[in-house]
Structure 1
Amino acid sequence: MRALIAGIVHESSTLMVEYVGPTRLADFDVHTGAALTAQFAGTNTCVGGYLAACARLGVEPVPALHARAEPGAALDPAACAELVDRLVARATAAGPVDVVLLDLHGAGALVSGESVDLAVLRAVRAVVGPDVPVAATLDLHGNIPAELPDLAETVVGFLEYPHTDMGERAERAAEIAVSQARGRTRPVTRVLSLPMLVPPSDTGSGQARLARDLARAAQDSADVLACTVFHGFPYADTPQAATSVVTVVDGDPAAADAVNRRIGDWLWDNRDGFRIATLTPAEAVALARANEAHPVVIGDGTDNPGCGAPADSTHLLRALLDSGASACYAALHDPDTVAAAVAARVGGRLTVALGGRHGWASGPPVTATATVRAITDGHVVHQAMRRGKALEFGRSVRLAVGKVDVVVSSKRSQVFDPEILLLHGIQPDRYEIVAVKSVNHFRAGFAGIAARLLVADAPGPLSRDIASVPRGGPTAARWPMDAAAVYRPLSEISVSEKERTR
């Protein structure tokens, strides 16, 4: 048995296009064939999970093409078309396969709002035909189009945020698809979308944990193969952006609908529990300094590259400098400052204007005198989420600005764990405060050293207070943007009406 492995992965914010322009082809890391296998084998990623499942199930993996860009603004249509064409060419050249295993995101979008994930699925389905089982893994923040289950019999999303279960969920998707190819199961995927969106909410506590546990409990029942609560991506103002429940069963759509209805009704009835009480950068820094134990780790939530932010917001950096705290901060994206620091060399002093390149999305630059403490290649390897996978910050420098050590990178990347700090000779446990460009994923990587974990919400188009973010498209009608949004429980919808919406 042969399994085609491929993917085009992007979390696309339509709200960021006016600030940074669309995501382009050059922003993607692309791997094909043997290089794809070498890049992902043994990693806690979706492709790593697919490869592990193939080895365990006696299936030959056929690596086609995998392309991923850091979350950012919605895609340039030409870039999407080029990547899909390349994938199709590789899939066609691979010849007949018995199953297709796709790594997608679910919130991929063109600048027009059209779904990138649907474009990939349609193209792959056209190559392999209607009878080859197709499985897709999606991010917990996927926005699930109604057409998705018509193109992939198996749809499995992450249950955890931080996404520490990527490999595990991909293995489950592969198991279902291979079982279908061997004639042992008839997977059916059903989707229930709600007129709401969930702010970035980690599944280690609160309402998000309860929702995760509901999906897990449903999945443990005999007739359910997989169940996912998709929070949705609130920074994509697209028709498909919504919170969804997706359930995969063996042959009985009514059973999937019953699970979706039960969890969907709970989500709607308990939606107010997803509201987030935000902290300004100054408030977060004050709480951190008042904490008895250190270090306190603060996520720079509004400027999280994992949501598409430019990673050059200065609000939290300014709060750290003003506080007089001993702090380290990573990773501010500012290629010009990196170039100037490299020219000044280690030990050199220079005047910098840090960050603030994108107006309201970034805040004003921080002008200061800095000392260059380290220069690196910015290459690290994930040690928590995506464990074993390389992460590139590009040429990077450590600058001492007052009592704050700032890692400045030439490539925009989220901080998942302490590795980028350690690379620059920064020992996080020696500081009062560790600040990182991340909103939730940092929790997995820093939990072992942090006395406390906080998130700061500065002004900007990617605030966790999603109701305050300016938007004029379809998501303006979702809760909590529209407090009067109305949800019709699935139990009130006729069977014929359900079928028409699929």
Structure 2
Amino acid sequence: MHESSTLMTDYLGTAELSAFSCHRGTGLLTEFTGTATVTGGYLTACAEAGAEVRPAFHARAEPGPAVGPATYRALRDHLAEGIAAAGDCDVVLLDLHGAGVVAPGRSLDVDVLRTVRALLPRAVVAVTMDLHANVPAELPELADIVTGFHEYPHTDAADRSRLAGDLALATARGDLRPTVRLRRLPMLLPPSPTVAGSPARELRDLVRAIEQRPGVLACTVFHGFPYADTEQAATSVVTVTDHDPRLAGECCDEVADWLHGHRERFRITLLEPEEAVRTALEGGPGTVVVGDGSDNPGCGGAGDSTHLLRALLDRPEPSCFATLWDPPAVEAATTAGVGATLRLRLGGRHGWASGPPVEAEGTVRALTDGTIVQSAMRRGKRADFGPCARITVGACDVIVAARRRQVLDPEILLLHGCLPERYRIVGVKSVNHFRAGFAGAAARMLVADAPGPTARGIEHIPRSGPTRLLWPMSTTAAAG
């Protein structure tokens, strides 16, 4: 399960085996049972149906550059071994992002599906994918059931996979005869949260309403992942009906027509970091949480861009910044120890993708192992930021991490003794998912934009591959 940014491969190399958290057998059940994750939703569906679960293999890495071929072969072999050990099964439930890439440009998700089909040709195969999946054209012939998230932030992951599990089990019992239809559009949506008043919320409501129609089992609009410059990248619609291909096609067309007619509404008004900080301070009282929208590890960003951090350091108001990916800085802080003051070179380690490093003097306030349990999106699932240090630079508490990871909720702040309400501004390495986790702690939420290969202004990112021909990169892209 991987969201692969091919635009970051030049800066970060390829995703290697050490980047993946892997679980198999009973360890998989221990890790995911009761969690608000795709696999957690599958396990709930199986438990409620009284289905015998044979856990095979699960691997996930933080979004990042394309997966190295040798790494992918090793993971695929582990999956194949897990399936072989499980024996003949009626149903296969797959947790796939949908925007996985084996370097340089092969679809990871298609390869996984083909592997599963070859090993269990008669099984019902269900797939739950991320809202930002780049759905490949081969999907309808490889999967019997397809669902995806409706919400962004993805707070409905477990609900959507539970639906996929229910439909797959019903199909195996002979109660349903699913038909899958896909419509791909010549466009890619920029990061578009389903917040009140947004076009993404209207789009979500449309597919939800379609799902309530007789004969429709599932309908998902996939925004696409604009940081993968591959043939698979595109916005798409997938509808599953109970043996009604005409209805499935009509539903896909309806959503596609809506998207084409409303696509200009999805363009983003960008807010530079300095302007975002100024806007936050000019508002009313309370903590303002600012997402570092151009350097989100959840989009494959390097996680060490310094543009927003610099804007915070230029102001005397108390602030917190979490997390900056900088293993050497963590090591230096750990060596110095809590209470020590030292000169540091923070972030800026990946050229244009990161901005210049910050030269500063800071005091080490806390050292931790960086392990938390997520409390909003992926609720109940552990997350490992690696060894971390809280370093005070001027009026800003900077949480520096040894692992590159998106901040979804306040847990990594709380681990370091940082209460969000004590700060005027909290900057987080996230673009939209933080909205769910910080909803109870923020008076307001903003997103800051700086240049970078994972910026929200996707039409301004240099690219040479197939996505340059899609809207909004190309204003002449037709309604496909």
- Counterparts in 2 of 1:322-341, with a 5 A limit? 322-341=314-333
Equivalent in the alignment of 1:182:
173
Q: CA deviation at 1:430?
A: 0.8
Distance 2:420 2:244 in 1: 52
The one of 268, 292, 299 aligned to 1:300? 292
Distance 2:227 2:173 in 1: 40
Equivalent in the alignment of 1:24:
16
- Counterparts in 2 of 1:11-50, with a 5 A limit? 11-50=3-42
- Counterparts in 2 of 1:215-226, with a 5 A limit? 215-226=207-218
Mapped pair 1:402 → 2:397 = no
Distance 2:155 2:75 in 1: 27
CA distances 1:396-423 after superposition (whole Å, capped 9, x unpaired): 0100000000000001110000000000
Mapped pair 1:74 → 2:66 = yes
Q: CA deviation at 1:112?
A: 2.1
Equivalent in the alignment of 2:159:
168
Q: CA deviation at 1:111?
A: 1.8
Distance 1:442 1:189 in 2: 33
Distance 1:440 1:278 in 2: 14
Distance 1:333 1:451 in 2: 27
Mapped pair 1:312 → 2:292 = no
Q: CA deviation at 1:326?
A: 1.2
The one of 71, 79, 82 aligned to 1:87? 79
Q: CA deviation at 1:82?
A: 1.1
Q: CA deviation at 1:323?
A: 2.1
- Counterparts in 2 of 1:182-221, with a 5 A limit? 182-205=173-196, 206-221=198-213
CA distances 1:290-315 after superposition (whole Å, capped 9, x unpaired): 01122000000111000001100000
Q: CA deviation at 1:324?
A: 2.1
CA distances 1:313-346 after superposition (whole Å, capped 9, x unpaired): 0000000011222100100000000000011111
Distance 2:111 2:70 in 1: 13
Mapped pair 1:152 → 2:158 = no
The one of 280, 300, 305 aligned to 1:288? 280
Distance 2:280 2:232 in 1: 38
3-state DSSP class of the match of 2:54?
strand
Equivalent in the alignment of 1:142:
133
3-state DSSP class of the match of 2:344?
strand
Mapped pair 1:263 → 2:255 = yes
Equivalent in the alignment of 1:128:
120
CA distances 1:422-459 after superposition (whole Å, capped 9, x unpaired): 00000110110010000000000001111110000111
Distance 1:483 1:369 in 2: 47
Amino acid at match of 1:155: V
CA distances 1:229-264 after superposition (whole Å, capped 9, x unpaired): 100000000001000011010001111000000110
Q: How many pairs align?
A: 479
3-state DSSP class of the match of 1:302?
coil
CA distances 1:343-391 after superposition (whole Å, capped 9, x unpaired): 1111001000000000000000001100000000101001000000001
Equivalent in the alignment of 1:251:
243
CA distances 1:14-63 after superposition (whole Å, capped 9, x unpaired): 00000110111111111000000000000000000011110001101110
3-state DSSP class of the match of 1:107?
coil
3-state DSSP class of the match of 1:323?
coil
Length-normalised TM-score, structure 1: 0.95
Distance 1:220 1:406 in 2: 47
Mapped pair 1:363 → 2:355 = yes
Deviates more, 1:233-242 or 1:321-330: 321-330
Segments ≥4 residues shifted beyond 2 Å: none
Structure 2 unaligned residues grouped into runs of 5+: none
Distance 2:229 2:54 in 1: 35
Between the two proteins, what is the percent identity of the paired residues?
57
The one of 372, 381, 390 aligned to 1:389? 381
Equivalent in the alignment of 1:442:
434
Distance 1:291 1:392 in 2: 34
Q: CA deviation at 1:92?
A: 1.1
Distance 2:248 2:72 in 1: 33
The one of 342, 354, 358 aligned to 1:350? 342
Structural RMSD (CA):
0.6
Q: CA deviation at 1:469?
A: 0.3
CA distances 1:109-147 after superposition (whole Å, capped 9, x unpaired): 122211000010000110001x21100000000000110
Distance 1:247 1:334 in 2: 43
Distance 1:395 1:250 in 2: 50
